[in-house]
A and B are shown apart, each in its own frame.
Chain A
Amino acid sequence: MVTAAVEATALTHRFALGRDRLTVLDGVDLAVAPGEFVAVVGPSGSGKSTLLRLLAGLDRPTRGRLTVDGAPLAGPDPSRALVFQDPTLFPWRTVRGNVEIGPRATGRLRERRDDVAAALELVGLTDFADAYPSQLSGGMAQRAALARALVNRPELLLLDEPLGALDALTRLAMQKELLNLWEARGFTAVLVTHDVDEALRLADRVLVLSARPGRVLADLPVDAARPRDTGAPALRDLRHRILRLLGVES
Protein backbone atom coordinates (compact mmCIF):
# COMPACT_ATOMS: atom_id res chain seq x y z
CA MET A 1 0.00 0.00 0.00
CA VAL A 2 1.24 3.45 -0.87
CA THR A 3 0.70 5.89 1.87
CA ALA A 4 2.31 8.83 3.58
CA ALA A 5 2.64 10.27 7.07
CA VAL A 6 2.28 14.00 7.50
CA GLU A 7 3.54 16.02 10.39
CA ALA A 8 3.07 19.73 10.91
CA THR A 9 4.49 21.49 13.94
CA ALA A 10 3.58 25.03 14.98
CA LEU A 11 2.47 25.92 11.50
CA THR A 12 1.92 29.65 11.10
CA HIS A 13 1.01 31.35 7.87
CA ARG A 14 0.60 35.02 7.09
CA PHE A 15 -0.46 36.82 3.92
CA ALA A 16 0.52 40.33 2.98
CA LEU A 17 -2.71 42.28 2.75
CA GLY A 18 -1.91 45.77 1.55
CA ARG A 19 0.54 47.09 4.14
CA ASP A 20 -0.70 44.75 6.85
CA ARG A 21 0.07 41.13 7.44
CA LEU A 22 -2.90 38.86 7.84
CA THR A 23 -2.33 35.89 10.11
CA VAL A 24 -4.34 33.01 8.72
CA LEU A 25 -2.94 30.02 10.56
CA ASP A 26 -1.52 30.38 14.04
CA GLY A 27 0.54 27.55 15.50
CA VAL A 28 -1.31 24.62 14.03
CA ASP A 29 -0.07 21.19 15.06
CA LEU A 30 -1.17 18.25 13.05
CA ALA A 31 0.03 14.69 12.80
CA VAL A 32 -1.55 12.31 10.34
CA ALA A 33 -0.52 8.66 10.52
CA PRO A 34 -0.02 6.65 7.32
CA GLY A 35 -3.36 5.59 5.93
CA GLU A 36 -5.34 7.76 8.29
CA PHE A 37 -8.39 9.74 7.24
CA VAL A 38 -8.54 13.16 8.90
CA ALA A 39 -11.32 15.69 8.42
CA VAL A 40 -10.86 19.41 9.02
CA VAL A 41 -13.81 21.62 9.86
CA GLY A 42 -13.84 25.30 10.71
CA PRO A 43 -15.59 28.58 10.00
CA SER A 44 -15.20 30.22 6.62
CA GLY A 45 -11.88 32.04 6.37
CA SER A 46 -10.26 30.02 9.13
CA GLY A 47 -7.46 28.93 6.81
CA LYS A 48 -8.57 25.43 5.81
CA SER A 49 -7.75 25.90 2.15
CA THR A 50 -4.50 27.55 3.12
CA LEU A 51 -3.58 24.55 5.26
CA LEU A 52 -4.14 22.20 2.34
CA ARG A 53 -2.05 24.39 0.02
CA LEU A 54 0.76 24.20 2.54
CA LEU A 55 0.44 20.42 2.77
CA ALA A 56 0.46 20.17 -1.03
CA GLY A 57 3.64 22.23 -1.14
CA LEU A 58 2.11 25.03 -3.22
CA ASP A 59 2.92 27.63 -0.55
CA ARG A 60 5.63 27.68 2.09
CA PRO A 61 4.57 28.27 5.67
CA THR A 62 5.71 31.55 7.19
CA ARG A 63 6.84 29.61 10.24
CA GLY A 64 6.74 26.04 11.45
CA ARG A 65 7.91 22.63 10.30
CA LEU A 66 6.24 20.48 7.75
CA THR A 67 7.40 16.95 6.96
CA VAL A 68 6.09 14.12 4.83
CA ASP A 69 7.40 10.68 5.79
CA GLY A 70 9.96 12.46 7.92
CA ALA A 71 11.43 14.52 5.10
CA PRO A 72 10.89 18.29 4.93
CA LEU A 73 8.36 19.19 2.29
CA ALA A 74 10.10 20.81 -0.67
CA GLY A 75 7.34 21.59 -3.17
CA PRO A 76 4.44 20.12 -5.10
CA ASP A 77 4.72 16.46 -6.01
CA PRO A 78 2.40 14.11 -7.90
CA SER A 79 2.35 11.77 -4.91
CA ARG A 80 0.34 14.41 -3.08
CA ALA A 81 -2.86 15.25 -4.91
CA LEU A 82 -5.01 18.25 -4.10
CA VAL A 83 -8.63 18.55 -5.16
CA PHE A 84 -9.24 22.28 -5.14
CA GLN A 85 -12.27 23.97 -3.70
CA ASP A 86 -13.36 25.06 -7.18
CA PRO A 87 -12.80 22.49 -9.89
CA THR A 88 -10.39 24.58 -12.01
CA LEU A 89 -10.67 22.30 -14.99
CA PHE A 90 -8.64 23.37 -18.02
CA PRO A 91 -11.36 24.75 -20.31
CA TRP A 92 -9.39 23.91 -23.46
CA ARG A 93 -9.30 20.21 -22.65
CA THR A 94 -12.13 17.71 -22.63
CA VAL A 95 -13.02 15.90 -19.42
CA ARG A 96 -10.79 13.01 -20.46
CA GLY A 97 -8.05 15.46 -21.41
CA ASN A 98 -8.26 16.96 -17.93
CA VAL A 99 -8.01 13.59 -16.24
CA GLU A 100 -5.01 12.80 -18.45
CA ILE A 101 -3.06 15.85 -17.24
CA GLY A 102 -1.30 13.95 -14.46
CA PRO A 103 -0.22 10.91 -16.52
CA ARG A 104 0.77 13.18 -19.38
CA ALA A 105 2.78 15.56 -17.22
CA THR A 106 4.72 12.67 -15.72
CA GLY A 107 5.13 10.98 -19.09
CA ARG A 108 3.11 7.88 -18.19
CA LEU A 109 0.03 8.33 -20.31
CA ARG A 110 0.56 5.11 -22.25
CA GLU A 111 0.61 2.83 -19.20
CA ARG A 112 -2.11 4.80 -17.41
CA ARG A 113 -4.86 4.81 -20.03
CA ASP A 114 -6.83 2.18 -18.14
CA ASP A 115 -6.52 4.23 -14.95
CA VAL A 116 -7.96 7.23 -16.78
CA ALA A 117 -10.95 5.21 -17.93
CA ALA A 118 -11.37 3.72 -14.44
CA ALA A 119 -11.27 7.16 -12.79
CA LEU A 120 -13.91 8.46 -15.20
CA GLU A 121 -16.04 5.41 -14.53
CA LEU A 122 -15.67 5.90 -10.79
CA VAL A 123 -17.04 9.44 -10.86
CA GLY A 124 -19.69 8.49 -13.41
CA LEU A 125 -18.43 10.66 -16.25
CA THR A 126 -17.65 8.02 -18.85
CA ASP A 127 -20.40 9.35 -21.10
CA PHE A 128 -19.06 12.87 -20.78
CA ALA A 129 -15.42 12.02 -21.41
CA ASP A 130 -15.39 14.04 -24.62
CA ALA A 131 -17.34 17.03 -23.30
CA TYR A 132 -15.64 20.33 -22.61
CA PRO A 133 -15.79 21.75 -19.06
CA SER A 134 -18.11 24.54 -20.22
CA GLN A 135 -20.66 21.85 -21.03
CA LEU A 136 -20.68 20.36 -17.51
CA SER A 137 -22.84 21.13 -14.51
CA GLY A 138 -21.15 22.32 -11.32
CA GLY A 139 -21.34 18.90 -9.68
CA MET A 140 -20.03 17.15 -12.78
CA ALA A 141 -17.08 19.53 -12.93
CA GLN A 142 -16.26 18.73 -9.31
CA ARG A 143 -16.42 15.02 -10.02
CA ALA A 144 -14.10 15.49 -12.98
CA ALA A 145 -11.64 17.31 -10.73
CA LEU A 146 -11.82 14.41 -8.29
CA ALA A 147 -11.08 11.91 -11.06
CA ARG A 148 -8.15 14.04 -12.18
CA ALA A 149 -6.60 13.86 -8.71
CA LEU A 150 -7.25 10.16 -8.21
CA VAL A 151 -5.72 9.01 -11.46
CA ASN A 152 -2.24 9.81 -10.16
CA ARG A 153 -2.62 7.16 -7.40
CA PRO A 154 -1.54 9.61 -4.70
CA GLU A 155 -0.08 8.60 -1.35
CA LEU A 156 -1.67 11.63 0.21
CA LEU A 157 -5.02 12.89 -1.00
CA LEU A 158 -5.93 16.42 0.02
CA LEU A 159 -9.59 17.25 -0.52
CA ASP A 160 -10.93 20.79 -0.25
CA GLU A 161 -14.71 20.48 0.03
CA PRO A 162 -14.73 18.22 -3.01
CA LEU A 163 -18.37 17.30 -2.67
CA GLY A 164 -19.60 20.79 -1.83
CA ALA A 165 -21.46 21.39 -5.08
CA LEU A 166 -23.15 18.01 -5.26
CA ASP A 167 -26.77 17.28 -4.53
CA ALA A 168 -27.50 15.28 -1.37
CA LEU A 169 -27.93 11.95 -3.13
CA THR A 170 -24.84 12.15 -5.32
CA ARG A 171 -22.94 13.38 -2.32
CA LEU A 172 -23.83 10.29 -0.31
CA ALA A 173 -22.91 8.04 -3.21
CA MET A 174 -19.59 9.82 -3.70
CA GLN A 175 -18.81 9.60 0.02
CA LYS A 176 -19.26 5.86 -0.23
CA GLU A 177 -17.04 5.67 -3.30
CA LEU A 178 -14.40 7.73 -1.55
CA LEU A 179 -14.46 5.39 1.45
CA ASN A 180 -14.22 2.29 -0.74
CA LEU A 181 -11.32 3.81 -2.60
CA TRP A 182 -9.57 4.79 0.58
CA GLU A 183 -10.03 1.33 2.02
CA ALA A 184 -8.84 -0.31 -1.20
CA ARG A 185 -5.85 1.88 -1.88
CA GLY A 186 -4.90 2.81 1.65
CA PHE A 187 -3.75 6.36 0.96
CA THR A 188 -3.67 9.03 3.62
CA ALA A 189 -6.51 11.52 3.31
CA VAL A 190 -7.11 15.02 4.64
CA LEU A 191 -10.62 16.24 3.91
CA VAL A 192 -11.75 19.81 4.42
CA THR A 193 -15.50 20.04 4.70
CA HIS A 194 -18.21 22.29 6.05
CA ASP A 195 -20.52 19.32 6.48
CA VAL A 196 -20.06 17.93 9.99
CA ASP A 197 -22.01 14.77 9.11
CA GLU A 198 -19.69 14.13 6.23
CA ALA A 199 -16.70 14.44 8.54
CA LEU A 200 -18.27 12.04 11.02
CA ARG A 201 -19.19 9.54 8.34
CA LEU A 202 -15.75 9.41 6.76
CA ALA A 203 -12.95 10.40 9.09
CA ASP A 204 -10.89 8.68 11.76
CA ARG A 205 -10.36 12.05 13.38
CA VAL A 206 -11.97 15.46 13.12
CA LEU A 207 -9.83 18.54 13.53
CA VAL A 208 -11.81 21.65 14.49
CA LEU A 209 -10.25 25.00 13.59
CA SER A 210 -11.13 28.31 15.20
CA ALA A 211 -12.14 31.43 13.31
CA ARG A 212 -9.28 33.42 11.84
CA PRO A 213 -6.49 33.15 12.79
CA GLY A 214 -6.96 29.40 12.57
CA ARG A 215 -5.92 27.46 15.68
CA VAL A 216 -6.72 23.85 16.51
CA LEU A 217 -9.68 23.97 18.89
CA ALA A 218 -10.07 20.23 19.20
CA ASP A 219 -8.76 17.03 17.72
CA LEU A 220 -11.52 14.49 18.14
CA PRO A 221 -11.23 10.79 17.32
CA VAL A 222 -14.29 9.16 15.79
CA ASP A 223 -14.45 5.66 17.23
CA ALA A 224 -17.09 3.85 15.27
CA ALA A 225 -16.97 1.09 12.73
CA ARG A 226 -17.77 1.96 9.12
CA PRO A 227 -20.22 2.19 7.51
CA ARG A 228 -21.48 4.59 10.08
CA ASP A 229 -24.90 5.74 11.02
CA THR A 230 -24.62 9.39 12.03
CA GLY A 231 -27.84 9.02 13.98
CA ALA A 232 -26.13 6.67 16.47
CA PRO A 233 -25.92 8.16 19.99
CA ALA A 234 -22.10 8.29 20.19
CA LEU A 235 -21.86 10.19 16.90
CA ARG A 236 -24.77 12.43 17.83
CA ASP A 237 -22.91 13.59 20.92
CA LEU A 238 -19.79 14.16 18.90
CA ARG A 239 -21.72 16.19 16.37
CA HIS A 240 -23.15 18.43 19.11
CA ARG A 241 -19.69 18.93 20.51
CA ILE A 242 -18.28 19.97 17.17
CA LEU A 243 -21.18 22.30 16.43
CA ARG A 244 -20.73 23.89 19.87
CA LEU A 245 -17.04 24.42 19.14
CA LEU A 246 -17.96 26.05 15.86
CA GLY A 247 -20.35 28.31 17.71
CA VAL A 248 -23.38 27.07 15.81
CA GLU A 249 -25.05 25.54 18.87
CA SER A 250 -24.85 26.81 22.41
Chain B
Amino acid sequence: MAVTQRERAAAPARAAARRRARPPVAALFGALVWTAGAALTALVPNRQEAEHTAVTAGLAGAVAVLTAALAPALTERVRRAGPWIAATGYWFVFWELATAKLDLLEPPYFTSPQGLLAALWDDRALLLDSFGNSLKLLVIGYSLGAATGVLTGIAMGWSPRVHYWAHPVLMSIGPVPAAAWLPLILLVFPTSYSGAVFMVALAVWFPTTVLTRAGVAAVSRRYYDVAQTLGAGSGYLVWRVAVPAALPQIFVGLFMGLGAAFLTLVVAELLGVKNGLGWYIQWTKGWAAYPRMYAAITLMIVLCGGAMALLFRVRNRVLRWQKDLVRW
Protein backbone atom coordinates (compact mmCIF):
# COMPACT_ATOMS: atom_id res chain seq x y z
CA MET B 1 0.00 0.00 0.00
CA ALA B 2 2.88 2.33 0.80
CA VAL B 3 4.22 1.69 -2.66
CA THR B 4 0.98 2.60 -4.40
CA GLN B 5 0.77 5.75 -2.32
CA ARG B 6 4.27 6.79 -3.27
CA GLU B 7 3.47 6.02 -6.88
CA ARG B 8 0.39 8.13 -6.77
CA ALA B 9 2.34 11.01 -5.26
CA ALA B 10 4.96 10.69 -7.99
CA ALA B 11 2.47 10.58 -10.85
CA PRO B 12 1.70 14.32 -11.09
CA ALA B 13 5.40 15.17 -10.88
CA ARG B 14 6.15 12.80 -13.74
CA ALA B 15 3.31 14.23 -15.81
CA ALA B 16 4.69 17.72 -15.24
CA ALA B 17 8.14 16.59 -16.29
CA ARG B 18 6.70 15.09 -19.44
CA ARG B 19 4.93 18.35 -20.21
CA ARG B 20 8.14 20.26 -19.70
CA ALA B 21 10.02 17.98 -22.03
CA ARG B 22 7.48 18.57 -24.81
CA PRO B 23 8.40 21.55 -27.01
CA PRO B 24 6.08 24.53 -26.41
CA VAL B 25 4.27 24.02 -29.71
CA ALA B 26 1.37 26.37 -29.05
CA ALA B 27 3.61 29.24 -27.97
CA LEU B 28 5.88 28.79 -30.97
CA PHE B 29 2.87 28.71 -33.25
CA GLY B 30 1.66 31.89 -31.56
CA ALA B 31 4.98 33.51 -32.33
CA LEU B 32 4.50 32.49 -35.96
CA VAL B 33 1.05 34.09 -36.10
CA TRP B 34 2.40 37.33 -34.66
CA THR B 35 5.25 37.27 -37.18
CA ALA B 36 2.66 37.01 -39.94
CA GLY B 37 0.82 39.94 -38.38
CA ALA B 38 3.97 42.02 -38.27
CA ALA B 39 4.79 41.19 -41.89
CA LEU B 40 1.25 41.99 -42.98
CA THR B 41 1.35 45.34 -41.21
CA ALA B 42 4.73 46.30 -42.59
CA LEU B 43 4.48 45.05 -46.18
CA VAL B 44 0.87 45.42 -47.34
CA PRO B 45 0.08 49.02 -48.26
CA ASN B 46 -2.55 50.82 -46.16
CA ARG B 47 -5.88 51.61 -47.74
CA GLN B 48 -6.98 53.52 -44.70
CA GLU B 49 -5.08 56.58 -43.62
CA ALA B 50 -2.93 55.56 -40.65
CA GLU B 51 0.14 56.82 -38.88
CA HIS B 52 2.69 54.76 -36.96
CA THR B 53 2.33 51.72 -39.21
CA ALA B 54 6.00 50.88 -38.86
CA VAL B 55 5.86 51.15 -35.08
CA THR B 56 2.83 48.85 -34.97
CA ALA B 57 4.58 46.29 -37.14
CA GLY B 58 7.62 46.57 -34.89
CA LEU B 59 5.55 45.96 -31.76
CA ALA B 60 3.84 42.93 -33.30
CA GLY B 61 7.25 41.64 -34.30
CA ALA B 62 8.49 42.21 -30.77
CA VAL B 63 5.64 40.05 -29.41
CA ALA B 64 6.64 37.30 -31.82
CA VAL B 65 10.35 37.48 -31.01
CA LEU B 66 9.78 37.65 -27.27
CA THR B 67 7.43 34.66 -27.31
CA ALA B 68 9.79 32.60 -29.44
CA ALA B 69 12.83 33.53 -27.39
CA LEU B 70 11.20 32.87 -24.04
CA ALA B 71 9.15 29.83 -25.05
CA PRO B 72 11.69 27.14 -24.09
CA ALA B 73 12.31 28.70 -20.66
CA LEU B 74 8.67 29.41 -19.88
CA THR B 75 7.12 28.25 -16.65
CA GLU B 76 4.11 25.95 -16.65
CA ARG B 77 1.70 28.83 -16.15
CA VAL B 78 3.01 30.95 -18.99
CA ARG B 79 3.33 27.92 -21.19
CA ARG B 80 -0.38 27.37 -20.82
CA ALA B 81 -0.91 30.84 -22.31
CA GLY B 82 0.45 29.54 -25.63
CA PRO B 83 -2.93 29.04 -27.32
CA TRP B 84 -3.98 32.50 -26.16
CA ILE B 85 -0.89 34.08 -27.68
CA ALA B 86 -1.86 32.48 -30.97
CA ALA B 87 -5.52 33.53 -30.59
CA THR B 88 -4.64 37.18 -29.92
CA GLY B 89 -2.33 36.98 -32.92
CA TYR B 90 -5.26 35.95 -35.10
CA TRP B 91 -7.32 38.79 -33.66
CA PHE B 92 -4.55 41.25 -34.48
CA VAL B 93 -4.32 40.01 -38.08
CA PHE B 94 -8.10 40.19 -38.50
CA TRP B 95 -8.27 43.66 -37.01
CA GLU B 96 -5.37 44.98 -39.06
CA LEU B 97 -6.89 43.55 -42.25
CA ALA B 98 -10.41 44.80 -41.57
CA THR B 99 -9.28 48.35 -40.86
CA ALA B 100 -5.98 49.65 -42.21
CA LYS B 101 -5.42 47.17 -45.01
CA LEU B 102 -8.86 46.52 -46.54
CA ASP B 103 -10.85 49.44 -45.11
CA LEU B 104 -13.89 47.27 -44.31
CA LEU B 105 -14.51 48.92 -40.95
CA GLU B 106 -14.32 52.62 -41.52
CA PRO B 107 -13.42 55.61 -39.43
CA PRO B 108 -14.50 57.47 -37.42
CA TYR B 109 -16.35 54.70 -35.59
CA PHE B 110 -13.64 52.11 -36.08
CA THR B 111 -9.94 52.45 -35.77
CA SER B 112 -6.94 50.36 -36.72
CA PRO B 113 -4.35 49.02 -34.28
CA GLN B 114 -2.16 51.90 -35.46
CA GLY B 115 -4.96 54.33 -34.67
CA LEU B 116 -5.34 52.99 -31.17
CA LEU B 117 -1.61 53.15 -30.56
CA ALA B 118 -1.49 56.67 -31.92
CA ALA B 119 -4.33 57.75 -29.65
CA LEU B 120 -2.65 56.19 -26.64
CA TRP B 121 0.65 57.84 -27.47
CA ASP B 122 -0.55 61.27 -28.55
CA ASP B 123 -2.77 61.83 -25.54
CA ARG B 124 -0.60 59.96 -23.07
CA ALA B 125 -0.39 62.76 -20.52
CA LEU B 126 -4.13 63.18 -20.13
CA LEU B 127 -4.77 59.43 -20.33
CA LEU B 128 -2.21 58.71 -17.66
CA ASP B 129 -3.66 61.44 -15.50
CA SER B 130 -7.18 60.02 -15.99
CA PHE B 131 -5.98 56.53 -15.22
CA GLY B 132 -4.31 57.77 -12.05
CA ASN B 133 -7.45 59.64 -10.98
CA SER B 134 -9.67 56.63 -11.56
CA LEU B 135 -7.26 54.36 -9.73
CA LYS B 136 -7.10 56.74 -6.78
CA LEU B 137 -10.88 57.11 -6.56
CA LEU B 138 -11.31 53.35 -6.85
CA VAL B 139 -8.74 52.55 -4.18
CA ILE B 140 -10.00 55.13 -1.68
CA GLY B 141 -13.70 54.48 -2.28
CA TYR B 142 -13.36 50.71 -2.35
CA SER B 143 -11.19 50.49 0.76
CA LEU B 144 -13.55 52.70 2.73
CA GLY B 145 -16.65 50.85 1.54
CA ALA B 146 -15.15 47.40 2.02
CA ALA B 147 -13.82 48.14 5.51
CA THR B 148 -17.11 49.70 6.64
CA GLY B 149 -19.07 46.92 5.01
CA VAL B 150 -17.11 44.14 6.67
CA LEU B 151 -17.32 45.85 10.07
CA THR B 152 -21.06 46.53 9.74
CA GLY B 153 -21.63 42.98 8.57
CA ILE B 154 -19.71 41.50 11.51
CA ALA B 155 -21.58 43.68 13.99
CA MET B 156 -24.93 42.75 12.46
CA GLY B 157 -24.10 39.07 12.23
CA TRP B 158 -22.85 38.96 15.79
CA SER B 159 -25.37 41.07 17.66
CA PRO B 160 -29.11 40.60 17.14
CA ARG B 161 -29.60 44.09 18.62
CA VAL B 162 -27.38 45.72 15.99
CA HIS B 163 -29.11 43.66 13.35
CA TYR B 164 -32.53 44.81 14.54
CA TRP B 165 -31.63 48.47 14.13
CA ALA B 166 -29.32 48.29 11.14
CA HIS B 167 -31.28 45.91 8.95
CA PRO B 168 -34.09 48.32 7.92
CA VAL B 169 -31.54 51.04 7.22
CA LEU B 170 -29.43 48.66 5.17
CA MET B 171 -32.41 47.41 3.23
CA SER B 172 -33.77 50.86 2.42
CA ILE B 173 -30.52 52.62 1.50
CA GLY B 174 -28.57 49.71 0.09
CA PRO B 175 -30.56 48.51 -2.90
CA VAL B 176 -30.88 52.02 -4.39
CA PRO B 177 -28.14 52.45 -7.00
CA ALA B 178 -25.53 54.79 -5.58
CA ALA B 179 -25.87 56.94 -8.69
CA ALA B 180 -29.44 57.80 -7.68
CA TRP B 181 -28.09 59.59 -4.63
CA LEU B 182 -25.89 61.78 -6.80
CA PRO B 183 -27.87 65.05 -6.70
CA LEU B 184 -28.23 64.80 -2.94
CA ILE B 185 -24.58 63.90 -2.50
CA LEU B 186 -23.43 66.83 -4.63
CA LEU B 187 -25.57 69.09 -2.47
CA VAL B 188 -24.43 67.75 0.88
CA PHE B 189 -20.74 67.11 0.36
CA PRO B 190 -18.29 70.01 0.51
CA THR B 191 -16.38 68.90 -2.59
CA SER B 192 -17.46 66.81 -5.53
CA TYR B 193 -14.45 64.56 -4.88
CA SER B 194 -15.52 63.63 -1.37
CA GLY B 195 -18.99 63.04 -2.78
CA ALA B 196 -17.61 60.71 -5.43
CA VAL B 197 -15.63 58.78 -2.82
CA PHE B 198 -18.76 58.45 -0.73
CA MET B 199 -20.75 57.20 -3.69
CA VAL B 200 -18.25 54.50 -4.55
CA ALA B 201 -17.93 53.52 -0.89
CA LEU B 202 -21.71 53.32 -0.53
CA ALA B 203 -21.97 51.05 -3.57
CA VAL B 204 -19.34 48.71 -2.12
CA TRP B 205 -20.73 48.86 1.39
CA PHE B 206 -24.11 47.32 0.63
CA PRO B 207 -23.18 43.93 -0.88
CA THR B 208 -20.20 43.58 1.45
CA THR B 209 -22.38 44.15 4.50
CA VAL B 210 -25.16 41.81 3.39
CA LEU B 211 -22.83 38.91 2.65
CA THR B 212 -20.57 39.42 5.65
CA ARG B 213 -23.57 39.45 7.95
CA ALA B 214 -24.99 36.32 6.31
CA GLY B 215 -21.62 34.61 6.65
CA VAL B 216 -21.14 35.52 10.30
CA ALA B 217 -24.70 34.60 11.25
CA ALA B 218 -24.32 31.19 9.59
CA VAL B 219 -21.20 30.16 11.51
CA SER B 220 -21.79 26.80 13.14
CA ARG B 221 -22.62 26.91 16.83
CA ARG B 222 -20.16 24.07 17.36
CA TYR B 223 -17.13 26.21 16.56
CA TYR B 224 -18.12 28.59 19.34
CA ASP B 225 -18.64 25.64 21.71
CA VAL B 226 -15.16 24.33 20.98
CA ALA B 227 -13.54 27.72 21.42
CA GLN B 228 -15.43 28.38 24.65
CA THR B 229 -14.41 25.12 26.28
CA LEU B 230 -10.83 26.03 25.39
CA GLY B 231 -11.10 29.33 27.23
CA ALA B 232 -11.98 31.79 24.47
CA GLY B 233 -13.54 35.12 25.40
CA SER B 234 -15.95 37.04 23.21
CA GLY B 235 -13.15 38.94 21.44
CA TYR B 236 -11.63 35.66 20.38
CA LEU B 237 -15.02 34.33 19.33
CA VAL B 238 -15.62 37.30 17.04
CA TRP B 239 -12.21 37.80 15.46
CA ARG B 240 -10.73 34.31 15.56
CA VAL B 241 -13.83 32.17 15.05
CA ALA B 242 -16.67 34.09 13.43
CA VAL B 243 -14.60 36.10 10.97
CA PRO B 244 -12.39 33.31 9.61
CA ALA B 245 -15.37 30.98 9.36
CA ALA B 246 -17.27 33.65 7.41
CA LEU B 247 -14.39 34.55 5.09
CA PRO B 248 -15.66 32.60 2.05
CA GLN B 249 -18.89 34.62 2.18
CA ILE B 250 -17.06 37.85 2.92
CA PHE B 251 -15.07 37.40 -0.28
CA VAL B 252 -18.24 36.94 -2.29
CA GLY B 253 -19.40 40.27 -0.86
CA LEU B 254 -16.08 41.95 -1.64
CA PHE B 255 -16.23 40.64 -5.18
CA MET B 256 -19.75 41.94 -5.76
CA GLY B 257 -18.74 45.22 -4.15
CA LEU B 258 -15.89 45.58 -6.62
CA GLY B 259 -18.30 45.21 -9.53
CA ALA B 260 -20.56 47.85 -8.03
CA ALA B 261 -17.54 50.10 -7.50
CA PHE B 262 -16.64 50.09 -11.22
CA LEU B 263 -20.17 50.99 -12.18
CA THR B 264 -20.41 53.81 -9.69
CA LEU B 265 -16.93 55.05 -10.44
CA VAL B 266 -17.84 55.87 -14.02
CA VAL B 267 -21.02 57.69 -13.03
CA ALA B 268 -19.29 59.60 -10.25
CA GLU B 269 -16.50 60.71 -12.59
CA LEU B 270 -18.85 61.71 -15.30
CA LEU B 271 -21.29 63.73 -13.25
CA GLY B 272 -19.26 64.63 -10.19
CA VAL B 273 -15.50 65.04 -10.28
CA LYS B 274 -15.21 65.53 -14.07
CA ASN B 275 -11.95 63.65 -14.47
CA GLY B 276 -10.81 60.06 -14.66
CA LEU B 277 -11.31 57.44 -17.35
CA GLY B 278 -15.10 57.42 -17.12
CA TRP B 279 -15.21 61.12 -17.74
CA TYR B 280 -12.57 60.88 -20.49
CA ILE B 281 -14.60 58.27 -22.35
CA GLN B 282 -17.72 60.43 -22.43
CA TRP B 283 -15.74 63.55 -23.19
CA THR B 284 -14.02 62.05 -26.24
CA LYS B 285 -17.30 60.57 -27.42
CA GLY B 286 -18.77 64.07 -27.22
CA TRP B 287 -16.51 65.30 -29.97
CA ALA B 288 -16.35 61.98 -31.85
CA ALA B 289 -12.69 61.26 -31.05
CA TYR B 290 -13.34 57.56 -31.23
CA PRO B 291 -9.73 56.30 -31.30
CA ARG B 292 -9.10 58.16 -28.03
CA MET B 293 -12.27 56.73 -26.59
CA TYR B 294 -11.07 53.23 -27.47
CA ALA B 295 -7.74 54.04 -25.91
CA ALA B 296 -9.49 55.02 -22.66
CA ILE B 297 -11.69 51.93 -22.80
CA THR B 298 -8.54 49.82 -23.16
CA LEU B 299 -7.12 51.43 -20.04
CA MET B 300 -10.43 50.88 -18.28
CA ILE B 301 -10.16 47.17 -19.07
CA VAL B 302 -6.68 47.16 -17.61
CA LEU B 303 -7.88 48.93 -14.46
CA CYS B 304 -10.97 46.82 -13.81
CA GLY B 305 -9.40 43.56 -14.91
CA GLY B 306 -6.32 44.25 -12.82
CA ALA B 307 -8.35 45.05 -9.71
CA MET B 308 -10.44 41.90 -10.19
CA ALA B 309 -7.37 39.73 -10.73
CA LEU B 310 -5.77 41.15 -7.59
CA LEU B 311 -8.86 40.40 -5.49
CA PHE B 312 -8.99 36.85 -6.87
CA ARG B 313 -5.38 36.28 -5.96
CA VAL B 314 -5.87 37.54 -2.44
CA ARG B 315 -8.91 35.32 -2.04
CA ASN B 316 -7.22 32.21 -3.38
CA ARG B 317 -4.38 32.80 -0.97
CA VAL B 318 -6.49 33.53 2.09
CA LEU B 319 -8.87 30.63 1.48
CA ARG B 320 -6.28 28.06 0.50
CA TRP B 321 -7.40 25.94 3.47
CA GLN B 322 -10.76 25.36 1.81
CA LYS B 323 -11.28 21.90 0.48
CA ASP B 324 -11.98 21.90 -3.25
CA LEU B 325 -11.60 25.66 -3.40
CA VAL B 326 -13.05 26.84 -6.69
CA ARG B 327 -10.32 29.04 -8.08
CA TRP B 328 -11.79 32.25 -9.34
A89-101 interface code vs B (CB 8 A; 1 in, 0 out): 0111110000001
Interface residues of B: mostly helix, strand, loop or mixed? helix
Enumerate chain A residues within 8 angstroms of B223, measured Cβ to Cβ.
88, 90
Q: Are B229 and A105 in contact (CB under 8 A)?
A: no
Contact among B222, B227, B231 for A77, CB-based, below 8 A: B231
Contact among B229, B241, B323 for A58, CB-based, below 8 A: B229
Q: Are A152 and B241 in contact (CB under 8 A)?
A: no
Q: Are B227 and A101 in contact (CB under 8 A)?
A: yes
Q: Are A88 and B226 in contact (CB under 8 A)?
A: yes
B232 within 8 A of partner (CB): yes
Rounded to whole angstroms, the CA-CA distance of A38 and B322 in the bound complex is 38
Enumerate chain B residues within 8 angstroms of A78, measured Cβ to Cβ.
229-231
Q: A105-B232, A105-B233 are in contact. Are A91 and B321 (CB under 8 A)?
A: yes
Rounded to whole angstroms, the CA-CA distance of A94 and B320 in the bound complex is 11
Q: Are B230 and A81 in contact (CB under 8 A)?
A: yes
Q: Counting chain A CB atoms within 10 Å of each CB, which of B222, B226, B229, B236 scores highest? A: B229
B106 within 8 A of partner (CB): no
Q: Are A92 and B244 in contact (CB under 8 A)?
A: yes
Rounded to whole angstroms, the CA-CA distance of A159 and B227 in the bound complex is 16
From residue B106, how far is it (CB to closest CB) to chain A in Å? 57
Q: Are A84 and B225 in contact (CB under 8 A)?
A: yes
A191 within 8 A of partner (CB): no
Q: Are B229 and A93 in contact (CB under 8 A)?
A: no
Q: Counting chain B CB atoms within 10 Å of each CB, which of A80, A91, A149 scores highest? A: A91
A148 within 8 A of partner (CB): yes
Contact among B222, B232, B247, B322 for A101, CB-based, below 8 A: B232
Q: Counting chain A CB atoms within 10 Å of each CB, which of B222, B230, B233, B236 scores highest? A: B230
A134 within 8 A of partner (CB): yes
Q: Are B227 and A81 in contact (CB under 8 A)?
A: no
Rounded to whole angstroms, the CA-CA distance of A84 and B230 in the bound complex is 12
Q: Which residues of A contact B (CB under 8 A)?
A: 53, 56-58, 75-78, 80-82, 84, 86, 88, 90-94, 101-102, 104-106, 132, 134, 148-149, 152
